[in-house]
Structure 1
Amino acid sequence: MSTNTRLSLAAPAKINLFLHVTGRRDDGYHFLESLVVFTETGDRLIVEAREDLTLSITGPFAQNLTAARADNVVLQAAEALQYKASTTLGAHITLEKNLPVSSGIGGGSADAAAALRMLSVLWHVDLHECCLKDIGIAIGADVPVCLNARSAIMSGVGDMLRDVDPPPHCGVVLVNGAEGVATPAVFKARKAPFSDIGNWRTPANFGAFINALKSSKNDLSDPARGVSPVIGDVLAALSVTEGCALVRLSGSGGTCFGLYADTNAADKAAAAIKALHPEWWCLSTVFRDGPLAVTTV
Structure 2
Amino acid sequence: MRLSAFAPAKVNLFLHVGGPDVEGYHPISSLMVFADIGDQVNIQPSDAPAFETSGPFGRAIPDSGDNLVVRAAQVFHRRLGGPIPPYRLILEKHLPIAAGLGGGSSDAGAALRLLRDALAPTLSDDDLEPLAASLGADGAACFRARALIAEGRGEQLSSAPRLPELNAVLVNPGAPSPTGAVYRAYDAGVHPGGAAPPPMPDHLESAEETAAWLAVATRNDLEAPAVALEPRIAEVLSALREEPESLLVRMSGSGATCFALCAGDIEAEGLAERLEAMRPDWWVRRCRLT
Q: Same fold (TM over 0.5)?
A: yes
From 88, 105, 108, the counterpart of 2:104: 108
Q: Give the secondary-structure state (helix, strand or coil) at the position aligned to 2:170.
A: strand
Partner of 2:180: 184
Q: CA RMSD in A?
A: 1.6
Task: Report how far residue 243 of structure 1 moved.
Answer: 1.7
* 2:87 is aligned with 1:91: yes
* Cross-structure match for 2:66: 71
Q: Describe the superposition over 1:45-83 as per-residue Cα deviations: whole angstroms up to 9, x where unpaired.
A: 111234643211111111211222x22110110011100
* 8 Å Cα contact 1:47-1:92 kept in structure 2: yes
Give unmatched runs, 5+ long, in structure 2.
none
Look up the match of 2:142.
146
Write out aligned runs for 1:1-297 (5 A). 5-50=1-46, 52-68=48-64, 70-89=65-84, 90-165=86-161, 167-190=163-186, 191-192=189-190, 193=192, 194-201=194-201, 202-214=203-215, 215-288=217-290
Q: Residue by residue, what CA displacement relative to the aligned partner does 1:112-159 show, whole Å, maximum 9, x if unpaired?
A: 010011101111154454442222222111111111211000111111
Distance across 1 between alignment mates of 2:177 and 2:207: 31
How high is the sequence identity, in percent, across the aligned residues? 35
Q: Letter of the 1:123 partner, please give it.
A: L
Q: Distance in 1 between matches of 2:71 and 2:49?
A: 11
Question: 3-state SS of the aligned residue for 1:210?
Answer: helix
CA distance in structure 2 between the partners assigned to 1:51 and 1:163 by the alignment: 43
Question: How far apart are residue 252 of structure 1 and its match?
Answer: 0.2
Cα distance, 1:287 vs structure 2: 1.5
Letter matched to residue 227 of structure 1? L
Q: TM-score, normalised by structure 2?
A: 0.93
Shift of residue 197, structure 1, vs aligned partner: 2.5
Looking at structure 1, the residues matched to 288 and 60 of structure 2 have their Cα atoms a distance apart, in angstroms, of: 26
Distance in 1 separating the partners of 2:242 and 2:114: 41
- 1:195 Cα deviation (Å)? 4.0
Q: 2: CA distance between counterparts of 1:87 and 1:152?
A: 35
* Distance verdict in 2 for CA 1:29–1:130, change over 3 Å: farther
Question: Which residues of structure 1 form unaligned runs of 5+?
Answer: 289-297
- For the Cα contact (< 8 Å) 2:99–2:176, is it kept in 1? yes
Q: Which amino acid aligns with 1:66?
A: P
1:170 and 1:287 in contact (8 A); partners too: yes
SS of 2:133's partner is helix
Q: Deviations over 1:210-260 (max 9, x none)?
A: 121111000100001011111100000111112210000000000000000
Shift in alpha-carbon separation, 1:107–1:53, aligned structure 2, 3 A: same
Contact 2:141 2:148 in 1 (8 A): yes
